[in-house]
């Protein structure tokens, strides 16, 4: 299904923990602990605990920011499988109805394959993912624009992690925590901290997306500055990504310091 020029953009990021019910960590050599050296689970063994989203309209203006299935994701009466299934159902239902262009950073290699495999696990239909070629075709922006893939020229080079590329354009990169702490925080009942961390990445991915539109020539410099300034103001009014806003270099991000 082809996108129209009025398509909206859904900036997406997920946070996961190992699915220890279906996957066991390999034994570590004696004397070594897991921590940052913990083996990375295979794609199918990542349990999704947060799906963070930021929706932009066709003019790159903020419509909403938040986490999918917030109530189900934090409901202690539900099992881990039930919570994950509810997140996936809400996400698939929204994308299938709204048909936005997905915007991710490394989503083609991680986020979308994890969503697909966990939907397979929980019998959640993902028809839009398989019926719409543009979502999975890496050389088109029609259904999914993976900024990491495009900045790496589709595998010709390495783009770097979001933390590094964000700092390259004046954003703070990782704030508060990093991905290695997500499992411990989640198991410790600090889901809100994980959600906040996810939304910080989503916000920076959205701002990087606007910068990429400038790079592509799709946004002239003055339009880029106006849209970026408007997004920063909207994020400030929302209040959930204050650490990102406090840590960025506004002049560098807007390109006014050169």
Cα dihedral value 157, 111, 170, 185, nearest 10: -130
**Has residue 4 been placed in a domain?**
no
Q: With bands split at pLDDT 50, 70 and 90, how would you rate the model's confidence at 34?
A: low
Give the CATH number, domain containing residue 94. Answer: 3.30.420.10
pLDDT at 209 over 60: yes
- What is the distance between the alpha carbons of residues 157 and 132, in angstroms, rounded to a whole number? 27
How does pLDDT run across 11-20, given as a tens digit for each residue?
999 999 999 9
Q: Cβ distance 256 to 226 under 8 Å? A: no
- What is the distance between the alpha carbons of residues 39 and 24, in angstroms, rounded to a whole number? 10
How does pLDDT run across 72-124, given as a tens digit for each residue?
666 778 999 999 999 999 999 999 999 999 999 999 999 999 999 999 999 99
Nearest CA-CA partner of 63 in 257, 216, 231: 231
216: how many CB neighbours lie within 10 A of its CB? 10
The full DSSP string for 169-226 is: TT---S-S--GGGHHHHHHTT-HHHHHHHHHHHHHHHHHHHHHHHHHHTSS-HHHHHH
pLDDT at 28 over 70: no
What's the pLDDT at 177?
A: 86
Q: Identify the domain containing residue 84 by its residue range.
A: 9-254
Task: Give Dmax (Cα) for the chain.
Answer: 58
Instruction: Determine phi and psi for 237, rounding to 5 degrees.
Output: -65, -35
63: how many CB neighbours lie within 10 A of its CB? 13
**Has residue 128 been placed in a domain?**
yes
**Has residue 184 been placed in a domain?**
yes
How does pLDDT run across 132-184, given as a tens digit for each residue?
888 988 888 889 999 999 999 998 998 899 999 999 999 999 988 888 899 99
Total of domains in the chain: 1
Q: Cβ distance 73 to 50 under 8 Å? A: yes
What's the pLDDT at 178?
A: 84
Q: What is the DSSP letter of 105?
A: S
Mean pLDDT computed over every residue of the chain: 92
pLDDT at 36 over 80: no
**Has residue 60 been placed in a domain?**
yes
pLDDT at 43 over 90: yes
Q: With bands split at pLDDT 50, 70 and 90, how would you rate the model's confidence at 2?
A: very low
Q: With bands split at pLDDT 50, 70 and 90, how would you rate the model's confidence at 203?
A: very high
Q: Cβ distance 142 to 5 under 8 Å? A: no
- What is the distance between the alpha carbons of residues 222 and 5, in angstroms, rounded to a whole number? 21
**Has residue 226 been placed in a domain?**
yes
By CB atoms closer than 10 A (0-12, 13-18, 19+), residue 215 is: middle
**Has residue 1 been placed in a domain?**
no
**Has residue 2 been placed in a domain?**
no
**Has residue 126 been placed in a domain?**
yes
- What count of residues does the chain have? 258
């Amino acid at each position: 299904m082809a996108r129209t020029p009025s398509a909206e953009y859904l900036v997406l990021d997920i946070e996961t923990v190992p699915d220890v019910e279906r996957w066991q960590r390999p034994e570590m050599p004696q004397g070594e602990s897991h921590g940052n050296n913990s083996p990375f689970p295979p794609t199918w063994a990542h349990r999704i605990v947060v799906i963070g989203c930021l929706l932009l309209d066709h003019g790159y203006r903020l419509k909403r920011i938040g986490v999918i299935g917030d109530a189900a994701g934090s409901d202690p009466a539900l099992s881990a499988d039930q919570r994950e299934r509810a997140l996936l159902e809400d996400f698939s239902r929204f994308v299938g109805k709204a048909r936005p262009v997905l915007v991710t950073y490394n989503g083609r290699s991680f986020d979308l394959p994890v969503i697909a495999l966990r939907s397979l696990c929980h019998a959640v239909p993902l028809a839009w993912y398989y019926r719409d070629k543009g979502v999975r075709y890496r050389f088109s922006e029609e259904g999914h624009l993976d900024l990491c893939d495009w900045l790496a020229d589709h595998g010709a080079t390495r783009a770097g992690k979001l933390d590094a590329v964000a700092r390259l354009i004046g954003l703070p990169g990782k704030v508060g925590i990093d991905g290695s702490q997500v499992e411990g925080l989640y198991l410790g009942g600090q889901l809100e901290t994980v959600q906040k961390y996810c939304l910080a990445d989503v916000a920076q991915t959205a701002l990087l997306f606007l910068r990429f539109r400038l790079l592509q020539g799709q946004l002239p410099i003055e339009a880029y500055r106006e849209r970026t300034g408007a997004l920063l103001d909207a994020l400030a009014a929302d209040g959930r990504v204050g650490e990102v806003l406090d840590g960025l270099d506004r002049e560098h991000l807007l390109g006014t310091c050169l």
